[in-house]
Each structure stands twice: as C-alpha cells, then as structure tokens.
C-alpha cells in the first residue's frame, strides 16, 4: 500500500474499492472502512458481486468480471473530457500524459458501459465523485490482480490516481490489500526469481556483486522461473528437484490435475510443513517445521509495516526451527552457513537491504514501537519509517503513465460452458483452512463448499437454493451446494476456494498474466447441473 489503513479510513473523502471484499478477506480493514463510511467518507464499490459494503456504497458498479481495465480507462476518459484532472500534478510530477490521453480517448462512456455491462451514468458519476474529491484512495485486492490481464489492471489504477494527483498525501494512493499475512514480506525478502531482498534487481551486476561478496558465493545471473513456470518445467522434466516451504499448491494452485502431474514427475520433492498436507503427501522427504507461535521473527503487513512475531510456547522437540533446517541443508550441501538466531538473520538482511537498514529486533522491541512496528523504507536506525510513499516525488523521480488497452479474459463462456465462475474468500476461513479448519467453531460457521448463482440461471436449470449440484469446467468436475440469490449477475457465479470437498481450484484456469504470471482465478467458464 502507498498509504496506511489509518489515513485511508480517516483522511480520505472518497474510497474506491475495486475487486476487494475486505469485510471477509481483511475483516479489521473492513471494520475501519465501515467506520469511515459512517463518519461520512464516500464509497464507490467496483465489484461484479454484491458484497456487504456495496449496500453502504454511494455507487456500486456491478461490472462484468475481467473488465477492470476498460472501466479504469473509461473513468479517465470522463475525467479528461470534463477537465477534472490535476494539471499541476501532471505537469510537475509525471510524464507520458499525452500517450495516456490518446489511449483513453477511445474509451467513451457508451463503449465502456457496453464492455462492462454497467449504466453509463454510474460510470460518469463515479468519475466525478473520485476526481472532485480532495483526497481519494483506491483500495484493491485479488479481484484486480487475479486476472490474465491483472498487471494492466493495476497499471490503469495507478494512471487514474496520477491523473487526479492522488499520490503522496494522507487519504489517497493506490492500495493493494495483500492476501496472506506475509506476502508483502515474502516479496520484500527477495523470494522472487528476479529480485534480491528489497527489490534489488538480479539483472544489475553491482547488486549481484554485493550479494556475492556478502554471502561469499557466486550468484547466478540467469533469471529464475516463477512458481507457475516451475510447475510447467517440472511437468516437462526440466526442473527435477523442488523444496516447498509451507505451501500447499495441491490445494491452492489453479488446475490441480496439472500440479499433481508436475509434482509426481519430479525426481525429488522435499516439503517443510506443520501438517501432512496434500502436497506433503507427494514428497520424498517431509520435514516438520514450526508455527508462528513457536518462533521469533517479523511479518510485514500490507501497509509495509514490519511487526514482531514472538515465541509464546515451546514447540514439540521433534520439530525444528525452520532457520535451523535451511542452515543445516546449506551446510550439508557444502555452503558454510553459520547457525544464527532470528535476530541475527534480520541484522544480516538489514545490512544488505537499504529499505530495511534501520530495523532490528532490538529496535522493534522498544516501548515506543510496541504494537506499531516500522514502515519501510526505513534506511537508518534513527529514521522513523515511511507511512506514506511518493511524498513530494515518486521513487523513480517522475511518475510514468503506463496506458493499457482492454483485452478480454482468456477464457470466455461459450455454449458448452456458459457461466462465468469467480472465486474468493469467506470470513471465517482462511485459504486452504490449514489453520482455521483446525478450530471447530470456524467449520461450524461455514464448513462446506458452495457456489453462489443468480436466480435466473438457477431457475433455467431447475436448481433450488440449497440443492446439491455438479460444477464442471474444461479441467474437471466437483460437487457443491447451490446458494441462489441476486448477489451475482445472471451468467455469473462465485465460489470460495477454501474447501477440499468441492475445491474450486479443480476448475480454475491456468491462463497466466503475461507479466506477473498470476493465474486467472477470477474468471473461468463453467456449467452447473443439479446433482
């Protein structure tokens, strides 16, 4: 996020929520957004589905799934046509405006309304509301990223914020809500094929030299494969050995049949886990690691806030600290890694990562930072951290408009699979339920798979609310239960991806966004029949 939860929910005049259902996926953010709305903040919801917050919204654009780019371009078209852009901001802080203006000129409200299946007047009203606000924040989530056009979707939102000067002050910005608790940290730490810690580029020889020297080991210059590409390479026998730390791709990856094939083709699979998950069952060796309550460390939240994780209980002696496990493997493979405590690992990481350079466990443990942590960039031990990014100037100097044209989703409904399926989360469960499913009460609240469908689609298939149904896509078939309502538009359905019985990811598409290789979870074509 460029801004903080606090400033978005107290200083924004308008919040535009896109493809995000924080009440279920980020509930405490959802509570604070409800507070904001009750205190007078205007709310625009852009979501194919009725969500709790859409009832409180000033405008709800119930657009067709997969059309976010067209929507954002349409907003910009209206803003430019009506002269509502922030000319000062554009002149002093950005470049590439002319290209953007040229591209969005084609996105007239009439055309966009047709693509997105929304009312033209709502689009214009949303553009007016957003552009005329003193401070307007965009908040988005997987609903934007999990499309084969996800990267373009994110770029278009950033264009929209720059066009209206909504960067670098309280209550504005472009704010992705990161899903898992430490996705932000995992990316920050360089668990990515093309960056080292702190987004230092692998392609930069100076960066490689710095890490080579610190680690006393050569760093390969070949950019690595992304996880979804690793699966493909494994299926082809090009990747032969895989170490999986605490993930369950057999539950959470799209097109599970393909994943199962890839993992079983590997010569050697090691899984470091708390439980014998579906993925762990396929391993050659399983190593029992430790849970967050059994270790010291930090998580980095969606606001770039680095906060402490503290050991509350002693772990079972048969398990090992994960840092210890990795260290032992390195040593046994001939790399002389000394055993370090978590605090020492953070010190080493901070010494190599400018945005974390001012952080340490000792500093985070001071009374002053208790419960607050530090937000990166925090380049020095006396630096207070950075709540809001891009104040005064962008990190790259000027902000570059990156116009993006609308492309339809990779898999569109057709005669055989006429319904669109979207996937998402529900409040009381979390991802593959490895954690929440072990609390009985959560299963009582919602413990089985279901599919939301429109009244008209249900009636056409003779399906009643609560009926058992078979859901089929090009990739597979599962059983589920129909929840019939007006929450989704006709032709569209929605399913949570938490449950092993009726796992929606058996159906989802493995079409990838060409830049960031995010699978297209949000849109795939299906058919539903009474079971």
Partner 1 sequence: MSNENLVHVTIDGCEVCAPAGETILHAALRANIQIPRLCALGNDAGVGMCRVCVVEVKGQDALVTACNTPVAEGMEISTHGERVEASRRMSLSLILAEHGLNSTNYCFSCRKNGDCQLQAVCNALGVTEPAYPIPAQDKPHRDSNPFLEFDPNLCIRCQRCVVACNERACNHTLHTAKRGARLTIEAPFGPDWDTTGCESCGCCAAACPTGALIEKRRATYRSWEVEPTLTTCPHCGVGCQLELLVKDNRVVDTRAYHGASNKGLLCVKGRSASFDFVRSGDRLTTPLIKNHDTGEFEPASWDDALDLVARRFTELREEYGGEALAAFACSRSTDEDIYMLEKMARTAFHTNNVDNCARV
Site for partner 1 in 349-388 (CB under 8 A): 349, 370-373
Contacts 24+ apart (CB under 8 A), 206-212: 210/352, 211/352
Is residue 26 close enough to count as binding ligand SF4 by CB under 6 A? yes
| Cα separation, 172 vs 161, whole angstroms | 8
| Cα separation, 25 vs 424, whole angstroms | 8
Cis peptide before 318 (omega within 30 of 0): no
Is residue 27 close enough to count as binding ligand SF4 by CB under 6 A? yes
Q: Least CB distance from residue 138 to ligand SF4, whole Å?
A: 20
* Binding window for ligand SF4 (CB under 6 A); candidates: 21-29, 259-267, 376-384, 415-423: 21-29
Distances (CA, A) of 107 to 103, 198, 354: 8, 37, 41
* Binding window for partner 1 (CB under 8 A); candidates: 118-126, 157-165, 242-250, 411-419: 242-250
Residue number, 28 or 531, with CB nearest to ligand SF4: 28
Neighbour tally for 127: CB within 10 Å: 24
- Residues 12-41 within binding reach of partner 1 (CB under 8 A): 23, 25-29, 31-32, 34-35, 38
DSSP state of 491: T
Q: Provide the 3-class DSSP secondary structure of residue 43.
A: strand
Residue number, 181 or 232, with CB nearest to ligand SF4: 181
| Cα separation, 176 vs 297, whole angstroms | 24
Using CB positions, name the residue nearest to ligand SF4: 28
Is residue 202 close enough to count as binding partner 1 by CB under 8 A? yes
Does an H or E element contain 286, and which? strand 285-288
Residue number, 80 or 524, with CB nearest to partner 1: 524
Is residue 445 close enough to count as binding ligand SF4 by CB under 6 A? no
DSSP state of 49: B
C-alpha triplet 58, 64, 70: angle, nearest 5°: 85
Residue number, 369 or 470, with CB nearest to partner 1: 369
C-alpha triplet 398, 401, 407: angle, nearest 5°: 155
CB 46 within 8 A of CB 61: yes
Residue number, 68 or 301, with CB nearest to ligand SF4: 301
Alpha helix stretches (DSSP H) within 394-450: 440-445
Binder of partner 1 out of 295, 383, 461, 474 (CB under 8 A): 295
x-or-dash string of contact with partner 1, 424-463, rule CB under 8 A? ---xx-x---xxx-xxxxx-xx------------------
- Residues 307-336 within binding reach of partner 1 (CB under 8 A): 307-314, 316, 318-320, 322-323, 325-330, 332-335
Partner whose footprint covers residue 227, from ligand SF4, partner 1, none (CB < 5 to 8 Å by kind): partner 1
Is residue 86 close enough to count as binding partner 1 by CB under 8 A? no
Q: Least CB distance from residue 22 to ligand SF4, whole Å?
A: 9
| Cα separation, 59 vs 128, whole angstroms | 11
| Cα separation, 137 vs 42, whole angstroms | 10
Neighbour tally for 6: CB within 10 Å: 13
* Binding window for partner 1 (CB under 8 A); candidates: 156-164, 183-191, 395-403, 479-487: 183-191
Q: Which residues of 133-143 are buried (b: 16+ CB within 10 A; e: fewer)?
A: bebbbbbbbbb
CB 341 within 8 A of CB 335: no
Residue number, 127 or 231, with CB nearest to partner 1: 231
Is residue 209 close enough to count as binding partner 1 by CB under 8 A? no
Partner whose footprint covers residue 410, from ligand SF4, partner 1, none (CB < 5 to 8 Å by kind): none
C-alpha triplet 509, 510, 516: angle, nearest 5°: 125
Is residue 484 close enough to count as binding partner 1 by CB under 8 A? no
Residue number, 138 or 349, with CB nearest to partner 1: 349
DSSP string, 288-335: E---GGGS-EEEE-TTSEEEEE---SPPPTTS--HHHHHHHHHHHTT-
Binder of partner 1 out of 412, 490, 516, 529 (CB under 8 A): 516
Q: Least CB distance from residue 76 to partner 1, whole Å?
A: 27
Partner whose footprint covers residue 349, from ligand SF4, partner 1, none (CB < 5 to 8 Å by kind): partner 1
Residue number, 108 or 319, with CB nearest to partner 1: 319
Residue number, 11 or 123, with CB nearest to partner 1: 11
Binder of partner 1 out of 55, 88, 220, 415 (CB under 8 A): 220
| Cα separation, 1 vs 387, whole angstroms | 9
Residue number, 124 or 239, with CB nearest to partner 1: 239
Give contact residues for ligand SF4 (rule: CB under 6 A): 26-28
């Amino acid at each position: 996020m460029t801004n903080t939860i606090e400033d978005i929910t107290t200083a924004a005049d308008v919040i535009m929520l896109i493809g995000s259902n924080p009440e279920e996926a980020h509930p405490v953010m959802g509570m604070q957004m409800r507070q904001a709305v009750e205190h007078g903040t205007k709310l625009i919801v852009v979501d194919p589905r009725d969500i709790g917050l859409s009832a409180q919204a000033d405008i709800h654009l119930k657009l067709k799934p997969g059309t976010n780019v067209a929507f954002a371009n349409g907003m910009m078209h209206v803003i430019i046509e009506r002269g509502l852009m922030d000319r000062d901001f554009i002149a002093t802080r950005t470049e590439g405006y002319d290209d953007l203006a040229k591209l969005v000129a084609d996105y007239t409200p009439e055309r966009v309304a047709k693509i997105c299946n929304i009312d033209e007047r709502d689009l214009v009203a949303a553009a007016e509301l957003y552009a005329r606000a003193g401070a307007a924040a965009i908040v988005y989530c997987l609903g934007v990223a999990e499309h084969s056009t996800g990267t373009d979707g994110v770029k278009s939102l950033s264009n929209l914020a720059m066009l209206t000067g909504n960067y670098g002050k309280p209550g504005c910005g472009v704010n992705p809500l990161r899903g898992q608790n430490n996705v932000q940290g995992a990316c920050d730490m360089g668990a990515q094929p093309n960056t080292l810690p702190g987004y230092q580029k692998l392609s930069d020889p100076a960066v490689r030299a710095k890490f080579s020297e610190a680690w006393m080991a050569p760093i390969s210059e070949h950019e690595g494969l992304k996880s979804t590409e690793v699966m493909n390479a494994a299926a082809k026998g090009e990747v032969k050995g895989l170490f999986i730390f605490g993930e369950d791709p057999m539950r959470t990856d799209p097109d599970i049949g393909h994943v199962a094939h890839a993992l079983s083709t590997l010569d050697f699979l090691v899984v470091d886990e708390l439980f014998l998950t579906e993925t762990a069952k396929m391993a050659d060796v399983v190593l029992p690691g430790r849970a967050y309550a059994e270790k010291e460390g930090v998580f980095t939240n969606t606001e770039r806030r680095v906060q402490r994780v503290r050991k509350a209980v002693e772990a079972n002696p048969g398990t090992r600290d994960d840092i210890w496990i990795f260290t032992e493997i390195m040593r046994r493979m001939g790399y002389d890694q000394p055993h370090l405590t978590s605090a020492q690992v953070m010190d080493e990481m901070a010494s190599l990562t400018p945005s974390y350079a001012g952080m340490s466990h000792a500093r985070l443990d001071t009374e002053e930072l208790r419960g607050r942590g530090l937000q990166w960039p925090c380049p020095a031990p006396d630096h207070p951290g950075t709540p809001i990014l891009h104040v005064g100037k962008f990190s790259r100097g000027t902000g570059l408009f990156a116009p993006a044209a609308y492309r339809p989703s990779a898999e569109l409904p057709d005669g055989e699979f006429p319904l669109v399926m979207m996937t998402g989360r529900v409040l009381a469960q979390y991802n593959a339920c490895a954690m929440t499913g072990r609390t009985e009460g959560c299963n009582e609240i919602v413990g089985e798979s279901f599919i939301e469908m429109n009244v008209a689609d249900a009636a056409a298939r003779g399906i009643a609310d609560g009926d058992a149904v078979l859901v089929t896509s090009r990739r597979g078939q599962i059983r589920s239960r129909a929840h019939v309502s007006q929450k989704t538009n006709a032709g569209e359905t929605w399913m949570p991806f938490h449950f092993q019985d009726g796992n929606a990811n058996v159906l989802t598409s493995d079409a990838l966004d060409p830049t960031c290789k995010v699978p297209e979870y949000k849109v795939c074509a299906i058919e539903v029949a009474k079971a």
